[in-house]
């Protein structure tokens, strides 16, 4: 992307069906990348309070017959690898959602680029690919959430034409988890 020698790999089913040779690599590498620190620190921070997905969960949930999520990895050639020797330098994690009001949607759960590769168009390329896959699947919206302290990311999203639905439409993100979730399920 942007002439930086970066390529995007996917774990999506469509790619598998097309027999894309890069897919198997990505299936495996998304897991090992999380083991080697590519996992978004923002996600880790958010998970400190509650259940944290482990590598086993990620493997099962992302690479089983009916995956709960899909992933795209941004990879640079060997000559641009990080000081620690990583060539997988960013990723996007997404899944499909549905609204009775607006129909098909794609939800981007994570977007992450290693600090030393930021500002080179990698984040934009990853998000663009998610948008492209969403449109190809008949989605009308790309949804995601940003923590209120994450101003650089908010500015990045706003610069890409996204808007804040909390400000403009009054939406709040709500969650039920832990004991409250178990209690709710037993009513």
Ligand X SMILES: CC(C)(COP(=O)(O)OP(=O)(O)OC[C@H]1O[C@@H](n2cnc3c(N)ncnc32)[C@H](O)[C@@H]1OP(=O)(O)O)[C@@H](O)C(=O)NCCC(=O)NCCS
Nearer to ligand X, 35 or 150 (CB): 150
The catalytic position among 94, 107, 112, 157 is 157
Residue 17 CB, shortest distance to ligand X, in Å, is: 29
Q: Checking DSSP bridges between strand 103-113 and strand 88-99, what pairing results, if any?
A: antiparallel
In sequence order, which residues have a C-beta less than 8 Å from that of residue 130 and are 6 or more positions away? 72, 92, 94, 106, 108, 111, 142
Q: Is 98 a catalytic residue?
A: no
Residue with Cβ nearer ligand X (49 or 159) = 159
Widest distance between CA atoms in the chain: 58
Instruction: Quote the least distance from Cβ 70 to ligand X, whole Å.
Output: 17
Nearer to ligand X, 63 or 120 (CB): 120
Nearer to ligand X by Cβ, of 106 and 111: the residue is: 111
> Is residue 67 a contact partner of residue 81, using CB atoms and an 8 Å limit?
no
DSSP 159: H
Tell me the C-alpha distance between 172 and 167, whole Å. Answer: 10
**CA 7 to the chain's CA centroid:** 16
Q: How far is the CB of 141 from ligand X (least distance, A)?
A: 16
Cα 103 to Cα 118: distance, rounded to the nearest angstrom: 33
Q: Give least dist CB 146 to ligand X, A.
A: 4
**In the complex, which residues of this chain contact ligand X (CB under 6 A)?**
40, 42, 111-113, 118-124, 146, 150, 152-153, 155-156, 159
Residue positions annotated with a catalytic role:
157
């Amino acid at each position: 992307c942007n002439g930086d020698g970066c390529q995007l790999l996917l774990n999506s089913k469509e790619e598998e069906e097309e027999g894309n040779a890069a897919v198997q690599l990505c299936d495996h590498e998304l897991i090992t990348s999380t083991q080697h620190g590519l996992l978004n620190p923002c996600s880790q921070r958010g998970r400190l309070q509650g259940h944290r997905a482990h590598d086993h969960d990620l493997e099962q949930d992302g690479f089983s017959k009916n995956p709960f999520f899909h992933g795209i990895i941004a990879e640079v050639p060997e000559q641009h690898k990080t000081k620690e020797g990583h060539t997988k330098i960013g990723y996007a994690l997404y899944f499909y959602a549905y609204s009775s009001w607006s129909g098909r949607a794609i939800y981007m759960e994570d977007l992450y680029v290693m600090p030393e590769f930021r500002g080179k168009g990698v984040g934009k390329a990853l998000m663009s690919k998610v948008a492209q896959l969403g449109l190809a699947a008949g989605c009308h919206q790309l949804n995601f959430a940003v923590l209120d302290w994450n101003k650089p990311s908010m500015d990045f999203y706003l610069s890409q034409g996204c808007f804040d639905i909390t400000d403009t439409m009054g939406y709040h993100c709500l969650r039920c988890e832990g004991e409250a979730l178990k209690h709710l399920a037993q009513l």
